[in-house]
Structure 1
């Protein structure tokens, strides 16, 4: 459900006179603003596994096998292949501190750690908790980067920008009426680039081992996405 909120401010009102030579004379300038809350239409989550092994191949093979289980689980739940992708694969030696024969402390390799992370985008957001629980059952032990978004954010941006323009015009009409002048045509409308607050609402969940089957799905609330627009509009004062 979309909900618009409008707010504006007057910057300049100057009525033309025969002696006026300022470029801003005979103009009404306002700032139109609008914002809206839109329900997200997809959820995105990064699910992975971290495995240990005595050799690089053993660690990587274990992580790869678990990653296959994550992908298979997502597909079983109806997620399209285009919405499943590997986000990272890492392999590194494990180091532990040991006491050397001379009594000093040193470092020694202690096998290897491999990780494989899969990004899944889910349109049925109500099943996000189920997806996370089922992938843990299939071998995943890392969940992070949960976020919610819009598949067509440009449409939401366009709608709120139109609302901001309407707000600017409404302000100009009220100012013209209050000062006893006629509102003329639009001279200019400038929509400056706006800095959005981050849309994702992330959190991370890490577990040392897969949870047992039969557990409750993880509760996740999508909330809403806020978007806003601002326009700087200049109107002529009619004759």
Structure 2
């Protein structure tokens, strides 16, 4: 017991003796702390498309509207799958039942239901090259809504990580430049914070298609354009 107490006392003495040196190191006037920002931005060619489309049906009763919608929606799914797109890449995005009200002679809506509207939309994930074919196939199968088309990258995680690495390199280049101007050098990285990374994809707004328009339309050309990738970081370094 006595021996343990002596060892503990000795350890406390050593720690107490080392404390002033540690504090002095923290307050070293030769060390300068600098915060720098880093960024990276580039345009990439997208290779994947997310197409949101669907069908709207109306009928006097909910059951009738649902039956009509289900028939068309199932046909759309079958024909899109016929293009070689697996079922897991065709997902329900929105389903809604909306009552339709009558209007009086002045055009004002009155609280009398005249029927129901069913909206059923899906999102199809496919290659950019096949986007136009998917749209044409869906329209021919009975779709009357193309809500939007969004483009992206299949390897999104990889390209985002690469962009972050480039942003950090940009920050360190700035830190080295500041250090050189002060006749110092970067001796330590204290913190690195991600300040946002974004893959901004062009989005094409859709429209409601009438049967007459679909009958007169030719093949749908889809141009994906480019997606913009940006990454930002904040880095705190010490110079000496």
TM-score calculated relative to the size of structure 2: 0.76
Tell me whether 1:60 sits opposite 2:66 in the alignment.
Answer: yes
Residue 231 of structure 1 and its aligned partner are, at CA, apart by 2.5
Could you say if the C-alpha distance between residues 84 and 179 of structure 1 is closer, same or farther in structure 2, counting changes exceeding 3 Å? same
Give 2:77's match in structure 1, choosing from 71, 83, 86.
71
Asked if residue 223 in structure 1 is aligned to residue 225 in structure 2, the reply is: yes
Aligned to 2:118: 114
Larger radius of gyration: 2
The 5-angstrom pairing of residues 92-131 of structure 1 reads 92-99=98-105, 106-123=110-127, 125-131=128-134
Corresponding residue of 1:12: none
**What are the equivalent positions in structure 2 for 1:189-200 lying under 5 Å apart?**
189-194=191-196, 196=198, 199=201
SS of the residue aligned with 1:220?
coil
**Structure 1 residues 226, 186: CA separation in 2 closer, same or farther (over 3 Å shift)?**
farther
Q: For the Cα contact (< 8 Å) 1:83–1:122, is it kept in 2?
A: yes
Higher-helix-fraction structure? 2
What residue number does 1:147 align with? 150
Residues 105 and 157 from structure 1, CA distance in 2 versus in 1: closer, same or farther, beyond 3 angstroms? closer
State the partner residue of 1:14: none
User: What is the aligned partner in structure 1 of residue 37 from structure 2?
Assistant: 31
Residue correspondences, number: 214
RMSD: 3.0
CA distance in 2, matches of 1:230, 1:141: 41
Residues 147 and 206 of structure 2 are in contact (CA less than 8 Å); yes or no, is this contact kept in structure 1?
A: yes
